[in-house]
Structure 1
Amino acid sequence: MPKSDLPFGSEFSPSQIELRTVLELAFKHAGDWKAFEDAVRETYFESNETIESNRRKLANNTKLSMIAYGIIDRNVNFTDFGRELYALRNDEKALYRALAKHILLNLNGAVLVQCVRDIQASGETVDLVKLREWLEERGIHFPRGGKHASIMRLWLEKAGVFSSGWNVDEAVFLDLIKAPVEELDVLARFTPEQRAYLKVLANLEGQGPYQSNDIEKLASETYGVQFNEKMLPKTVLYPLRDTGFIRLERGTSYHGAKPFKVFATDKLNAEVVLPMLEQVERLTGTELRPLLRKPLGEILDELKSNNTYVKGLALEALAFKLMRLIDLQYVYTRLKGNQTGGAEVDVIFEGTRLAFSRWQVQC
């Protein structure tokens, strides 16, 4: 069974425990996991009408969930993040906001929010089954029947990121991490070279200026990507500039062009950009997202377009919609519709019900 990409959260729901209380119990019993579990059991599960071993299991789940959320280690010692939460325990609003920010940046929470928005944009209703399937298509796994996503939602709701079920408050999201939800889309579209270049800049102290070729060499050595030196401005620098992450100044000399001077902008906040880059690098099929978001009616309208590029994308989107109806999973695209002017698309899907099958869809 593949490891879950969302944190385990059983018996760590805000409807079951109080965050401040379990933090205080962890502080009191630091280094003694048995005493901590006993305290959690006595506080929250002692009155449960079940056998003692089950009550102990519930308390153990709370501990495992706090480990999965990065709050404590296996011996119930606070992590750095756990100490941050403990210091905020008497300020409920700040406490919930800190946990929500951690979920969004470090526990694939931003991808979860993005996926919820995509489902809604497609005209479908969000539920746990559909959410698990859509996340799976992005390479994010959590077990069938697992409560991982719903418990994340409950904690995010405490900070106002979600309201009334799965409705996203984008203003709160922006306020928490100082970047809009759409920023994840921008980062997902970057090439490996652009991401490596951006990560090097984000890890440097100060905003520069830096010589563009020095950053290129450092990115190549650090992340193992190969750059086309002659095409660096076109393939890396200009896209990063146009998306607002860097500012460029052209250098000149009597002997020809000098490397650009590169300045990091305020938008290149390492605390936000680096964990979001880490999330998008785990994703698969980033080219799927625009297709998955489209309602069927919009797809059918675009199939009539005189614009061959639009028509080609609509043809791909139609293939996805049809295959999803019979519960097939996307693997890869052999021939894009926009490469054929909307005349043909060739996409590979797989089915895993009862027996494995692979489907090549041409339309």
Structure 2
Amino acid sequence: MESNELPYGTQFTPNVVDLRVILQLIKDNEGAETSAFIDRLVAAFFSSNAANSQKTMAGNCKNSLVAYGILRTSGGIHISEFGDYLYGITDDIELYDAFARHILKNLNGLVLIDTIRKLNREGIRITNESVIDALNKRGFNYKKTANNPQSMKLWLEKAGVLAKWRINENKINELVDLSEGEMELLKELRPEQYYFLKALCNTGSDEFQKAADVRDLATATYGITFQEKAFGTAVLNPLEEKGLIEKQRTTEGRGAKTPQVKLTELTKRDIVIPFLEQMSGIIGEDVSRYYQKTLQEIRNDVNSTDTYVKGVALEALAIKIMSIIGLDFVQTRLKGSETGGAEVDVLFDSSSLLYSRWQVQCKNTSKVSLDQVAKEVGLSHVLKTNAIVIMTTGTVSENAREYANKIMRSMNLCIIIIEGSDIDDIVHEPTKIVSIFNRESLAAKHIKVLET
């Protein structure tokens, strides 16, 4: 299961089908052609529907069984190992508990639960639409009419994990052996701590290992860069303080002390790696936690002496400011093969404004150079963006502005510049963003008109 995806669940919900009957149908039709199995599904669950929609509904149900890991993807009908495990459970309560545990552990169910928690904390009314909106802000890509969250919710209700959209925390802890507090502890990790812990979990060892070896494994596996001089204070000490690793020092060679680490009882649990995997595909919780702060509070954190804090705060400020004009958050810190290893802070889409894809680069520097703007222009070809927003707490150099104007004359691209004084105006009066964008758009229009 992709980290930013919930399984397809159309026509596969407990108010439409009976899980135990479905499992028996699969066993009875093991090895049969898909068309024959779909006919059995129609007879069992969809015969009362309009004749022209029966097979479509049954086909959707079959596809959902694959998405939920009950059917294998090979040709014909073949039960999966997990489906066979469910089939062998005779008690109904155990059956639905096992299915819910599978959803939470393997199908991003914990992301759904965490999203519901977040909406609750923010006082937002929880509906399928508001859940989809919150998931999309965390890197998912669903239309507002998608039923993936609703389908999952109904199965979790069947096991008592949810009651409507209310969470039964005790039931979750019972099923996955991870409390809400422990999940929050893991979510608070900074990227370098997160990837180090993930690499340590991946070793599968209960013994002490050299921290430097685990660090090298994290770098090789995930491409994460560590600051060697600050490695102990920035990574090892916080993980030890949170009770996520044990650390000891041994004297080797000429008295040099080499730290060694191992997992604690908490991080040895089977659920930890799946939980870390599920959290890896969403925007950092440090960023999402900023949604609950005011613009002024976020602006204050942009001035933090902690480089990580001020970097995250600036990204959060960009997300919050761009949402004022109705842009839909797509992704943060996009990097890798699709951008040639370079990095874009925030991407947005819009279905209502003139430009459909927006690329926002956040700079917490006194001056933005021509080279920095040029890099964003280069990335716009790869990302297919229509508008680039350069957001800086400082100013943009004259050379960079002249370059931006030249690009706008020759390309179908708009470059919008938001400087520190503009940010302060928006923080003081959020509606000022309209006049600022109108100013930049009008300037871009004049530049393009002059060239025609």
Q: TM-score range by the shorter chain?
A: 0.7 to 0.9
Quick one: distance in 1 between partners of 2:105 and 2:98?
A: 11
TM-score (norm 1): 0.81
Could you say if the C-alpha distance between residues 26 and 267 of structure 1 is closer, same or farther in structure 2, counting changes exceeding 3 Å? Answer: same
Task: Indicate the residue corresponding to 1:274 in structure 2.
Answer: 273
Quick one: distance in 1 between partners of 2:188 and 2:214?
A: 21
DSSP 3-state at the match of 2:352: coil
Are 2:240 and 1:244 equivalent residues in the alignment? no
DSSP 3-state at the match of 2:271: helix
Could you say if the C-alpha distance between residues 129 and 228 of structure 1 is closer, same or farther in structure 2, counting changes exceeding 3 Å? Answer: same
Q: How does 1:15-164 map to 2 (within 5 A)?
A: 15-32=15-32, 33-48=34-49, 50-51=50-51, 53-74=52-73, 75-88=76-89, 90-163=90-163
Could you say if the C-alpha distance between residues 356 and 143 of structure 1 is closer, same or farther in structure 2, counting changes exceeding 3 Å? Answer: same
DSSP 3-state at the match of 1:271: coil
Relative to structure 2, which stretch is displaced further, 122-131 or 323-332?
323-332
Q: CA deviation at 1:113?
A: 1.0
Relative to structure 2, which stretch is displaced further, 151-160 or 190-199?
190-199
Task: Indicate the residue corresponding to 1:292 in structure 2.
Answer: 291
Quick one: distance in 1 between partners of 2:213 and 2:54?
A: 59
Are 2:165 and 1:170 equivalent residues in the alignment? no
Could you say if the C-alpha distance between residues 317 and 201 of structure 1 is closer, same or farther in structure 2, counting changes exceeding 3 Å? Answer: closer
Could you say if the C-alpha distance between residues 333 and 265 of structure 1 is closer, same or farther in structure 2, counting changes exceeding 3 Å? Answer: closer
Contact 1:7-1:65 at 8 Å conserved across structures: yes
Contact 1:300-1:314 at 8 Å conserved across structures: no
Relative to structure 2, which stretch is displaced further, 256-265 or 55-64?
256-265
Could you say if the C-alpha distance between residues 80 and 271 of structure 1 is closer, same or farther in structure 2, counting changes exceeding 3 Å? Answer: farther
Deviations 1:52-107 (CA, angstroms, capped at 9, x unpaired): x411111111110010111112332122222221122x211111111111211221
DSSP 3-state at the match of 2:270: helix
Task: Identify which of structures 1 and 2 has the higher relative contact order when contacts are C-alpha pairs closer than 8 Å and 6+ apart.
Answer: 1
Quick one: distance in 2 between partners of 1:108 and 1:319?
A: 27
Could you say if the C-alpha distance between residues 333 and 219 of structure 1 is closer, same or farther in structure 2, counting changes exceeding 3 Å? Answer: closer
Contact 1:30-1:77 at 8 Å conserved across structures: yes
Q: CA deviation at 1:16?
A: 0.6
DSSP 3-state at the match of 2:144: coil
Q: How does 1:180-219 map to 2 (within 5 A)?
A: 180-219=179-218
Quick one: distance in 2 between partners of 1:237 and 1:4?
A: 29
Task: Indicate the residue corresponding to 2:257 in structure 1.
Answer: 258
Could you say if the C-alpha distance between residues 76 and 187 of structure 1 is closer, same or farther in structure 2, counting changes exceeding 3 Å? Answer: farther
| CA root-mean-square deviation | 3.5
DSSP 3-state at the match of 1:258: strand
TM-score (norm 2): 0.66
Contact 1:14-1:154 at 8 Å conserved across structures: yes
Could you say if the C-alpha distance between residues 228 and 302 of structure 1 is closer, same or farther in structure 2, counting changes exceeding 3 Å? Answer: closer
Count of paired positions: 341
Runs (5+) with no aligned partner, structure 2 = 305-309, 334-344, 359-388, 390-417, 428-452
Quick one: distance in 2 between partners of 1:226 and 1:300?
A: 31
Q: How does 1:345-356 map to 2 (within 5 A)?
A: 351-353=350-352, 355-356=354-355
Percent identity between the two aligned chains: 35
DSSP 3-state at the match of 1:263: strand
Structure of greater Rg: 2
Quick one: distance in 2 between partners of 1:257 and 1:58?
A: 67
Q: How does 1:305-320 map to 2 (within 5 A)?
A: none
